[in-house]
Amino acid sequence: MKVLLTYASIDAFSQSDTDWDYEGADSHYPLGLAYLHSYLESLGRGYEVKTEFLNNVPTHQCLEVIKKDIDEFKPDVVGVSLITHSRVGSYRVIEMVQRDYPHIKIVIGGMHVSVMYRQLAGAYPGIVCVVGEGEITLAELVERWEKDLPIDDVTGIAFHNGEKVVVTPSRELIQDLDILPFPKHEIFLWRGRQVAGLLTSRGCPYKCNFCVLDATSRRKVRCRSAKNIVDEVEYIITNYPTVETVWLHDDAFMILKDRTMEFCQEVIRRGVKTNFICSARFRPISREVVMLMKQAGFVHVLFGLESGAPNVLKQMRKGITQKSARHGLKLFSETGIKATAFLIVGLPGESAETIDETIEFVQELQDIQYLYYDDIGVAGIYPGTELNTIAQSRKMEIEGYGPIDDDYWLTDGDVPFYEVDHTYEQLSEWKTKIRDAVALRFIADRPENFLMQRKVMASIIEYAWRWNLSGFVERMILILNQPSSSSMAPLILRSGFIGEKNHKALNYIRTELEKWIIKSLFDKMETEERKAFIEQYNKQVDEDRKTIARWHETQRVERSGMSKVDAKENYCNDYEKAVINKDGTLINPVPDSDVSYMRPLFTDRRETKNANHDKESK
């Protein structure tokens, strides 16, 4: 049997007229298809498999490539992987194959199918929908088709039997992930690619209101053994020497402390040398894990923060709080591991106030370790999520369509934004407001942006040195070359290269950089505007001093784990504790005590600390 697996265009690319170099289009590749590919081959039944990744090409090109593949490879089965963003392109593929190659079996799977299988099986009679994990299900289907047997005893599928949609009993999750062969990296790691993808576990115990993961992972985490994972890492770096970074795409990589440590220890024990990047949650995180991650070669951790407002975080049900985020970032900041924290604007509970809370909280985090932002997301609606349920029950209108319902997912419409409480225009305005206040790229665009961002300038400088941020580094070198800075140069270089904070040096550079940015802003201003700016600037400097002192006070008391001295009554070690049971399920939801985090902390002690801090920062 011959099987062609594919992933069709996503919305953003689908309408383009120009062809893309699809082989080089993305630094990430679909591990789901790579697993299906290698699993089918590993069965030793002589199945021939070809996989195409056509995610980032226009629909017309995607269809041409698949047509060509079908004509040359002559598959018996075409398998299409769907996320909601690629559903429209996938519909075109299904329609083309059904029309031009009616003898070919079509099977679809992936996140969107795992939720909308009934609808899709009804809309496209003749196709088979695979619900959830696909390796074993697909293998059973191909076997039935090879032997010309009925498929209705295969669990985890939906199809139309000519009269109605049949949904078979759900398939067990694969408990022991070590039984799976390594995903077929070789189809994606060509032409000197430097980043390989890897999954060390599957699933997440949470159910955030915007996330669809429940449909495939059923809130259960399953982990591979450390040996099995590191075998795969060694396989990748030995066979693909251009790979410099292994990107762990787990949904909840650090969720189990012991196994994260085992993985790091195995990497260290075997002397594996590569850079690791992972997605992570802000809870649980402990010092031991972070230090081991550093030793194992982790260079970048990407957190889903989504919002800095306690009320939005709480409604989101991610199980994280401001405290856990501070705690986690503080630990990572000591290691030099780069951190990123994604944000989404417009989740339930969002308001003008929560936008301000997010800005203040993100800046507070940036003061611990600079978080670099290019852009901020706007909440989108995916079937299977709580946002979709709310949007449908509140009859959210989609322009040109009417109130959102399940039928919407069969249309060619884009993934809609969550406009239940606020219009997209309002959400974009808020997104811009946050972006202007936290994204370095926009710091010198408007005087207001600079004034909002100037309080994290010291952190920006450290970040720019460490990550060689062009523009800033060039400017700093110019500053260093000024005769007045010669005595400062060794100190500055030391802070840059060793990461050792030197307040005197940082302050010097900060002042010079501020002058440079102000000058460039001044150049665009009339005299009156300049006057107003100076007034605003002076007010802001005073405001910043208070804000920074408050942040530092909060952080000092919450240093959590590193210094518990005098912080007993406020200390909360919840965010270090395990959050899942041995079977991968959640121990308990966000602790009720987290509600107390919504109150401002330590207000009464602020004033004294402000005074101390002001002395230090001068």
Q: Which is nearer to ligand B12, 12 or 595 (CB)?
A: 12
CB of 252 or CB of 572, closer to ligand SF4: 252
Under the binding rule (CB under 6 A), the answer on residue 503 touching ligand B12 is no
Q: Does 386 bind ligand B12 (CB under 6 A)?
A: no
54 binds ligand B12 (CB under 6 A): no
How many angstroms separate the first and last alpha carbons of the chain?
74
Beta strands in 156-210 (DSSP E): 157-160, 165-167, 195-198, 201-202
Is 549 an interacting residue with respect to ligand B12 (CB under 6 A)? no
Listed in sequence order, the residues at least 6 apart from 26 whose beta carbon sits closer than 8 Å to its beta carbon are 53, 55, 56
Residue 598 has φ and ψ, to the nearest 5°, of -75, -15
Question: Residue 533 CB: number of other CB atoms within 10 A?
Answer: 19
Shortest CB 536 distance to ligand SF4, Å: 38
Listed ranges 28-36, 221-229, 419-427, 527-535: which one lies at the site for ligand B12 (CB under 6 A): 28-36
Burial of residue 76 (number of CB atoms within 10 Å: 0-12, 13-18, 19+): middle
User: Closest separation between CB of residue 304 and ligand SF4, Å?
Assistant: 5
* Strand-pair category, 222-223 with 245-248: unpaired
Residue 138 or 590: which CB sits closer to ligand B12? 138
Q: How many CA atoms lie within 13 A of 579 on its CB side?
A: 27
Residue closer to ligand SF4, measured from CB, 215 or 452: 215
Residue numbers at the binding site for ligand SF4 (CB under 6 A)? 204, 206-208, 211, 213, 251-252, 281, 304, 318
**Minimum CB–partner distance for residue 585 and ligand SF4 (Å):** 13
List the 157-160 sheet strands across, edge first.
48-53, 2-7, 77-81, 105-109, 127-130, 157-160, 165-167
The span of 97-105, 108-116, 472-480, 593-601 binding ligand B12 (CB under 6 A) equals 108-116
Asked if 249 touches ligand B12 (CB under 6 A), the answer is yes
Contact between 268 and ligand B12 by CB under 6 A: the answer reads no
| Smallest separation, CB 251 to ligand B12 (Å) | 5
Task: Classify residue 496 as exposed, middle or buried by CB count within 10 Å of its CB (0-12, 13-18, 19+).
Answer: buried
Q: Is 606 in the site for ligand B12 (CB under 6 A)?
A: no
Give yes or no for residue 579 binding ligand B12 (CB under 6 A): no
Pick 392 or 547: Cβ nearer ligand B12: 392
- 157 CB contacts (<8 Å, ≥6 apart)? 128, 129, 130, 131, 137, 141, 151, 167, 168
Give the C-alpha separation, 377 to 89, whole Å.
23
The least CB distance from residue 212 to ligand SF4, in Å, is 8
Indicate the residue among 439 and 572 with the shorter CB distance to ligand B12: 439
Long-range contacts of 264-268 (CB under 8 A, 24+ apart): 264/289, 264/292, 264/293, 264/295, 264/296, 265/226, 265/292, 265/296, 266/226, 266/227, 266/229, 266/230, 267/230, 267/233, 267/296, 267/297, 268/292, 268/295, 268/296
213 touches ligand B12 by CB under 6 A: yes
> DSSP of 558-608, one letter per residue?
T-TTS--TT-TTT---GGGS--B-TTS-BSSSS-GGGGGGGSPP-GGGHHH
Binding of ligand B12 by 83 (CB under 6 A): yes
Q: How far is the CB of 114 from ligand B12 (least distance, A)?
A: 6
Site for ligand B12 contains 212 (CB under 6 A): yes
Cβ–Cβ < 8 Å for 383, 408: no
**32 touches ligand B12 by CB under 6 A:** yes
Is position 305 an interface residue for ligand B12 (rule: CB under 6 A)?
A: no
What residues numbered 401-420 form the site for ligand B12, per CB under 6 A? Answer: none
207 touches which of ligand SF4, ligand B12, none (CB within 5 to 8 A by kind)? ligand SF4
Judged by CB under 6 A, does residue 111 bind ligand B12?
A: yes
The answer to the question of residue 134 lying near ligand B12 (CB under 6 A) is yes
Phi and psi at 133, nearest 5°, equal: -55, 140
Shortest spacing between CB 264 and ligand B12, in angstroms = 21
Whose Cβ is closer to ligand B12: residue 211's or residue 457's?
A: 211
Burial class (CB in 10 A: 0-12, 13-18, 19+), 274: middle
Please answer whether residues 252 and 221 qualify as being in contact, where contact means their C-beta atoms are separated by less than 8 angstroms: yes
> How far apart are CB 354 and ligand SF4 at their closest, in Å?
18
> Which of ligand B12, ligand SF4, none does residue 109 bind (CB under 5 to 8 Å by kind)?
ligand B12
Q: Could you tell me the smallest distance in angstroms from the CB atom of residue 343 to ligand SF4? A: 13
Considering the complex, what minimum distance in angstroms separates the CB of residue 7 from ligand B12?
Answer: 7
Q: How far apart are CA 586 and CA 213, in angstroms?
A: 14
Q: What is the largest CA-CA distance in the chain?
A: 85
35, 117, 240, 465: which one contacts ligand B12 (CB under 6 A)? Answer: 35
**Which lies closer to ligand SF4 via its Cβ, residue 86 or residue 216?**
216
Element of type H or E holding 278: strand 275-280
556 binds, among ligand SF4, ligand B12, none (CB under 5 to 8 A by kind): none
Bridge-based pairing state of the strands 127-130 and 157-160: antiparallel
Asked whether position 435 contacts ligand B12 by CB under 6 A, the answer is no
The verdict on 31 binding ligand B12 (CB under 6 A) reads yes
**Residue where the block lists tokens 């292994």:** 246
79 scored as a contact of ligand B12 (CB under 6 A): yes
Angle between helices 352-368 and 457-466 (to 10 degrees): 50
36 binds, among ligand SF4, ligand B12, none (CB under 5 to 8 A by kind): ligand B12
4, 8, 22, 36: which one contacts ligand B12 (CB under 6 A)? 36
Alpha carbon distance 368, 363 (integer Å): 9
State the binding partner of 256 from ligand B12, ligand SF4, none, CB within 5 to 8 A by kind: none
DSSP state at residue 126: T
Q: Which of 552, 498, 227, 130 is nearest to 363 (CA)?
A: 552
Token reading at 27: 């630094």
- Choice from 8, 63, 138, 506 touching ligand B12 (CB under 6 A): 138
Q: Name the residues that contact ligand B12, by CB under 6 A.
A: 10, 28, 30-32, 35-36, 55, 79-81, 83-85, 107-112, 114, 130, 133-135, 138, 199, 211-213, 216, 249, 251, 382
